[in-house]
């Protein structure tokens, strides 16, 4: 049956982009002082060969940076914050203070952490799922679904929270629902194929993908499969987890581990709206970042390129910028840092690079100390108010003022290592360090 499905999808890629219901495919501390005086062949390849050399470009006076208003997030119940995977502009003061809470587990924590109603939700490699009170600094709930036969195997678990329900999916093919208020499991299903995607919910329907790039719809109430869609499986093992987002029309956007982006209409006529291939012909495996939707635009980035498309799948522009970071899109500007540690601002509408400069050049303009050897690669970029916050892999916080002149306002070396996802919650930054302790910065 799988061969038939794959044949159908291949024929589709050549001839069409839509199916009906009968086709068969659907089933801060230590602040540093500043200076005082200063099948891809049948889909479109969206990327073309370009000059990938980044040169320094100063921001012109007429190229004003307009960004969206900061948002204070009061919950973080799904990975990448919301249905569109867009953190945008977060309220965070970065005053340099931090609080270290209790150690939450003896086993390695999975990176996916969530916050809902002042409780932190987490899982670990032994299969424990926990709920920790940030207010009371204590563990409220702990549950382990797994039998002894899986005890020795590492569990990679992704979570999503809705009301009092935790949905967990893992690398063994299990999906299970837990009511953490009543301390009981509601249902559990085994789909036999490992899951490897983030999770999205529309109404009472859960969307996820397995390692063969099959998109699956699950009834949240009972765990029954509603429908599924076979897409092109990856021909090589990739570290990239397939990624899901929802656009403003409730179409499901699915970036597969093969580097193919699908726009899927599950609710009206069960159709594939369009397909775009983002993996270059020379690539064996796809190395990408989560897709982001802002209003009527979709930003797609991978290790070699950044591209902007509209909700109809039409390409607006693409740039050859090598980066492992998910860009930030806000207002009229896209912000990123490339592999050579160049800070780059892109005009969202035209794709024009309106500012690019080495972060180390910016540092030497404002600071006396030679920090080039101390600050390693940038692992995170966030927009916080009128500032960009860059976080290095060795926990330097670099704040860049976006008003008037683009300059570094502060650099802080922090005594912690960030291991989990980073969450902005009620004006604070929250994460887990390598010792499994919760940190609240600010």
Strands 306-310 and 165-170: unpaired
pLDDT tens, N- to C-terminus, the chain (442 residues): 444 444 444 434 433 343 333 333 454 445 555 545 434 434 444 444 454 567 889 888 778 899 999 999 999 999 999 999 999 999 998 887 899 999 999 999 999 999 999 999 999 999 999 999 999 999 999 999 998 889 899 999 999 999 999 999 999 999 999 999 999 999 999 999 999 999 999 989 999 999 999 999 999 999 999 999 999 888 777 789 999 999 998 899 999 999 999 999 987 778 899 999 999 888 888 999 999 999 999 999 999 999 999 999 999 999 999 999 999 999 999 999 999 999 999 999 999 999 999 998 899 888 866 777 788 889 999 999 989 999 999 999 999 999 878 999 999 999 999 999 999 999 999 999 999 999 999 8
**Token couple for 180:** 């953490």
Output the CA torsion sign for 115, 82, 301, 350: negative
Q: How far apart are the C-alpha atoms of 47 and 338, rounded to whole Å? A: 17
Contact present, 360 and 341 (Cβ < 8 Å): yes
Length of the chain: 442
Q: How far apart are the C-alpha atoms of 365 and 367, rounded to whole Å? A: 6
Q: How far apart are the C-alpha atoms of 49 and 227, rounded to whole Å? A: 39
CATH topology of domain 30-441: Methylamine Dehydrogenase; Chain H (2.130.10)
Sketch the domain layout of the chain as residue ranges: 30-441
Contact present, 400 and 387 (Cβ < 8 Å): yes
Q: How far apart are the C-alpha atoms of 94 and 385, rounded to whole Å? A: 11
Q: How far apart are the C-alpha atoms of 135 and 198, rounded to whole Å? A: 27
The edge-to-edge listing of strands for the beta sheet with 407-413 is: 378-384, 387-392, 396-401, 407-413
Contact present, 390 and 398 (Cβ < 8 Å): yes
pTM, entire model: 0.88
Please report, for residues 27, 35, 204, 214, 377, the alpha-carbon distance to residue 217 in angstroms, rounded to integers and kept in the order given. Answer: 9, 57, 10, 10, 38
pLDDT of 305: 95
**Token couple for 151:** 């005890």
Strands 292-294 and 138-144: unpaired
pLDDT of 46: 47
The DSSP 8-state label assigned to residue 3 in this structure reads H
List the beta bridge partners of residue 143: 129
């Amino acid at each position: 049956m799988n061969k038939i499905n794959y044949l159908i999808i291949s024929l589709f890629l050549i001839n069409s982009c839509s199916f009906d219901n009968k086709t068969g495919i659907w089933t801060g501390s230590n602040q540093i002082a500043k200076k005082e005086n200063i099948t891809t062949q049948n889909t479109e390849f969206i990327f073309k060969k370009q000059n990938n050399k980044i040169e320094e470009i100063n921001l012109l006076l007429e190229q004003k940076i307009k960004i969206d208003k900061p948002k204070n997030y009061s919950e973080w119940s799904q990975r990448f914050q919301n249905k569109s995977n867009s953190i945008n502009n977060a309220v965070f003061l970065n005053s340099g203070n931090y609080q270290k809470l209790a150690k939450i587990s003896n086993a390695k924590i999975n990176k996916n952490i969530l916050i809902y109603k002042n409780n932190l939700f987490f899982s670990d490699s032994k299969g424990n799922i926990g709920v920790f009170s940030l207010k009371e600094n204590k563990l409220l709930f702990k549950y382990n679904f797994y039998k002894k036969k899986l005890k020795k195997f590492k569990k990679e678990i992704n979570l999503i929270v809705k009301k009092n329900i935790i949905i967990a999916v893992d690398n063994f093919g299990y999906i299970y629902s837990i009511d953490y208020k009543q301390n009981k499991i509601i249902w559990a299903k085994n789909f036999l194929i490992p899951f490897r995607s983030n999770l999205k919910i529309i109404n009472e329907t859960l969307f996820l993908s397995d390692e063969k790039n099959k998109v699956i719809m699950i009834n949240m109430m009972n765990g029954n499969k509603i429908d599924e869609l076979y897409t092109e499986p990856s021909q090589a093992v990739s570290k990239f987890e397939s990624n899901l987002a929802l656009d403003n029309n409730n179409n499901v956007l699915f970036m597969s581990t093969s580097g193919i982006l699908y726009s899927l209409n599950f609710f009206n006529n069960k159709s594939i709206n369009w397909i775009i291939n983002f993996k270059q012909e020379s690539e064996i495996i796809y190395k990408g970042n989560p897709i982001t939707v802002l209003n009527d635009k979709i930003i797609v980035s991978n290790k070699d390129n950044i591209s902007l498309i509209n909700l109809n799948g039409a390409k607006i522009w693409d740039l050859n910028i090598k980066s492992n970071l998910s860009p930030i899109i806000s207002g009229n500007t896209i912000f990123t840092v490339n592999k050579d540690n160049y800070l780059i601002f892109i005009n969202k509408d035209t794709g024009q690079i309106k500012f690019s400069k080495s972060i180390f050049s910016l540092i030497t303009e404002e600071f006396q100390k030679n920090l080039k050897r101390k600050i390693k690669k940038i692992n995170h970029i966030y927009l916080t108010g009128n500032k960009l916050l860059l976080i290095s892999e060795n926990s330097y916080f670099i704040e860049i003022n976006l008003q008037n002149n683009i300059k570094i306002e502060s650099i802080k070396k922090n005594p912690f290592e960030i291991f989990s996802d980073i969450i902005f919650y009620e004006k604070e930054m929250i994460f887990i360090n390598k010792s499994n302790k919760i940190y609240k910065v600010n």
